[in-house]
Structure 1
Amino acid sequence: MSEEFYRRGLEKAQQQDYAGAIAEFNQAIQLNPVFSLAYIKRGLAFYDSGATLQAVDDYTEALKLDPQSVEAYYCRALARLSLKNLPGALEDVEKAIQLNRNYAAAYDLRGMVRRKQGYIQDAIANFKTAAQLYLEQTDKDNCRLCLAKIQQLQPKEQTAIQPVQPTRAPIISINEYFTQLLDRAENGDTTAALKDLDWILQADNQDGQAYCCRGVVKCKIGKYQEAIADFNQALKLNFNHGIVYRNRGKARSQLGDYQGALADLNQALQIQPAESLVYIARGNVYRIMGKYLDAIQDYTQALQIQPDDPSAYYNRGIAYTCLEEMQSAIADYQQAASIYCEQEDWENYQIVFNSLQKIQNSTPEIKNQQFQILRQRILRLVGGHWEIAERLIQQERDEFPGMFEDWYLQRVIDKLERDRN
């Protein structure tokens, strides 16, 4: 009988009647609780109807029943990708490929995950493998789609190099051009950015903005004395922008000139009183000087301007740690970790995670106290029904595996409070 409900569920899913399909799969599972395929197909119906978390739950249940299910791993990877859980998606699709080395769709999906993680060459390699497998399987449409993805990712061939002209007329606008140069430097291409800036200054050595931008790039590669010289030249040429004072202040701080750094950052705030980055930079100087309360005040001001800035939370957490206010430090670290997670910035997330673990391992009583406080908050929000809370926490574990336990509790609390509001 369960097979009949399962068959009807497949038919309704094909007709895009997802609610009806889910109802049929429910019946099949009720009659046969170990029907792993029914969990997978119900998961697909949940996924197609937009209920991605429920889909993940069903794929997880299917894997408990059949740990070798390639389809379940692939489907859960796809769902986790849509939830922006890239590590979880990668783990699942890797498992699917281990179980079936000829699974073209899995290589295609792994390519998408690696592209989102910024590993372009790895993404291209996966798309190539997928395209070859699709071709061998006579799936020409998907093969063409993979080739199109590869073409999008491959660097465009450079045209013949034109002689450099001592003019910037072809540039769409000066501000946009400098923004592009700084973006390149931010993405690690500092050498090319410096070459362009050097050329600009050879063509026009009175360009204060170019000196400022070159100073910013030199800060990124640790040439602080040269950066300060460029910032000084920018100011001589009357480019009195707040970014000059902010970055010169940061460079002076790196060289141990804390009073000079504070003078520059105070001047930057005179020009840009609502710039959160200046408050964070000044807070960092205060913290290095041991003025922890002043630092906390600046980080707090930065968060009033930019409430979702994870670096402000993280640096304030460090300052609280220096004052041995561990509860406040833990709260800030958790908030920073949550935001970095939402931004998929896994490198900075790991840094915060390590700092949090260090505190909790050194003061286990604080960790236990924090856990109990979060547990009580969840209980109040779910009316005292811990089984509901456990289910919500498990959903977060499935969605974001490998996080610390307090983070799962805090995330559930944030969602419940947001829904209530």
Structure 2
Amino acid sequence: MGQARPSMQELIGRRKRAGFVGRSDERAAFRRNFDFAPDDERHRFLFHVHGNAGVGKTFLIRELEQLSRDRGALTAFVDESVGSVTEALAAISRQFAAQGHKFKELERLLTTHRDRRHEAEAATAALLEPEPREPSGGSMAVARAGLAGLALVPGVGPFAGALDAAQLAHGADRLRAGLSARFRSQEDVQLVLAPDRVLTPVLLGELADAASEAPWIVLFFDTYERTGLFLDGWLHQAMTTERYGAFPANAVVVTAGQLPLAHARWGGLTEFVTEVPLGPFTETEARRLLADKGVHDEPVVAEVLRLTGGLPVLVSTLAETRLADPADVGDPSGTAVERFLKWEQDPVRRAAALACALPRTLDADVFRAVVECPEEERDGLYAWLKRMPFVSERGDRMQYHDLVRAPMLRLQRRQSPRGWARHHTRIAETFASWREQAEADLEPGEFWNEEDWRELRLVESYHLLCARPRAALPGVLADLVTACDHGEDVLRRWVQLLAEAGEDADAEVIRTWADGLVEALAESGAETVLRLLLERARGPEEWRARAWAARGDALARGGEQERAVKAYDRALDLDPELVSAYRGKVQARSALGDYRGALDDLRRVLELEPDNPYNVFLRGEHQRILGRYDEAIQDLDRGIRLDPNQEFAWASRGAARLSRGELDEALTDLNRALELKPDYAWALARRARLWRARGDRAGQLADLDRALALQPDWAWGRCERGDALRVAGRDEEALVDYDRALALDPEYASAYASRGASRSKLGRHEEALADLDRAVELNPSYVWALERRATVHRRLGADDRAAADERLAARLSLPTTEP
């Protein structure tokens, strides 16, 4: 059977490679590296190509990619089309699958990550950590940890966007507890909190499997001046530390950007790294390229060399124009495109080349939308454009080189400002129609959670800004406010959109905003961006209330709850019916322990959204925390009638009934919660308390074991199981759990008190006294700890101290008139 015919893309690639000129030393050094085994001291694991725009970095590393494949390597190519480590891993996985090596486990986890991230962003049920154990003397301090981690509204609160554990270090244990109550496994929690930590070891495992079947693995990271902002630290750790596991030894990494590698990070690894600085073509290389394109006349060659400075992209562009006279060359940095079009005799091609410079990236659909030509000519025009030396492929899209696109845009903007605005408006309308088609399959609250929708909105906004900068700016700033609630990756793209539109449209009003926003984002993320937006607001902007609410969310994520409350109040001054601000304020006041204040805000939320079952559930849970069990059960009854499929509501009602001593009813509710979500750690821990109330120690320990298997880093769960073990006389085992609880939360008064009780039972009275002292120091009204300490004092012969503790405990135990 004969060989299959090559595709158009393969033929285009072969022709481009056949015409590759220059960089022979660089290519030879890279090719020679494959001759050295990974354990050979001459072998290099990282090549970094760097140089100014236009020197041909992308062309070179694409050539290196082909050289790698010629040696049997599996390759992946990542560029600025990705905006995070997670997106880079997805791009690598797709490309390896196309070469016959599917990363099944990585793809599964990437899918789960996207699903769980969307759930966290748009959660419609509360994520709660339980209140602490009973020996706390009924203190509300621990319940404060519960609601601090709630995702109170879609897109709002501490789970908005892609969560970063570093940002949420304040109360990280609470956050994990809340997510664990919602998701089915601890892995899912970490996929939301720290996806890089979960996904990177899986990637390395998948690469190791592929590396066992191929002689080499080569990963290429282009446009590193942009992608290195989030990839460089991750790549350094993956390659040089054991944090994520073993990086295959037969893997080579190639990065390419405008700057050298950061010396502070990579300086100590010079024996493993090859720096590949690129300058302009030498005169010999430039002459060869011109000769290959049929440009031989010496005066013409000399003029091209003078004007291009040897920049490969400009030499290639002018070489394609079949120059015959020095006067035909022109200045490539200013009017190169005009000169190029002058020598392209086909007016349809000239028009297509200019029109296709307007979008930032191109595919066949965008090409059809921007190029006005007969239908039968479109495919040929598209193939012609792809062959141009200033057009490069970026995944499934094409992109003009900046040094060529910029003068193309400048030429059109200056020659016909009205035509410029008209063309951009038409492109924006096309993308708006595609966006509206995407919306037909989504609920309004889901738009921002869908990456495809966001990309369409971004491109539409870019072209609106180019067409009418001042008119479009308010709408884009309003979108920027929303982007602040969807993670830094999304926010970064909106800021970049303003920066690019400001330059391409030469619009000072946009450029001024973009410069400030870029600086604010680099300083400290969403909160600083929102502060800048609000400082520059003139007054009538419709987005100001939402911006104050979003700023409250950002402050709450950073643990600044008091400032968050003030930000929500500013939002409500501007818009008294902004439900998201009320919900955020509920969260912040709960985190501060102001549950009565939070309950007041919840009443207003229910006035504005009376039929939202989530609001009813949330008020019921607050009533339960305050010990108002009758009111709590009334709210939870109503919420369950509105939505009987929310496991949180069943678990909360079960906990309320348990507190009222209604054990059978509580068991029914908790069982129902676990039917809806079998891996619901909070419900398991609550049911464990029910088994304790019934004297079923085996059932209690079984449920706590299950809960901790799901959520091993749960301080409250560890302490609860330690208590169960202590009561069962297994104090040595109990100490293991108490130690772990205190490692997770060094200010956990209940764990100190319980550990003191176990140490005392084991005869370790001095250690027990130290623990009980610490418990009372953290919570001076802790009756149970005072009683335990009195017992230890008596065993140590300090009867006066024991009596003092007993008197204080008795006084604190007296009933009060406080509701």
Give the alignment's TM-score, normalised by structure 2: 0.26
Which one has the bigger helix percentage? 1
Which one has the bigger strand percentage? 2
Structure showing greater Rg: 2
Give the alignment's TM-score, normalised by structure 1: 0.47
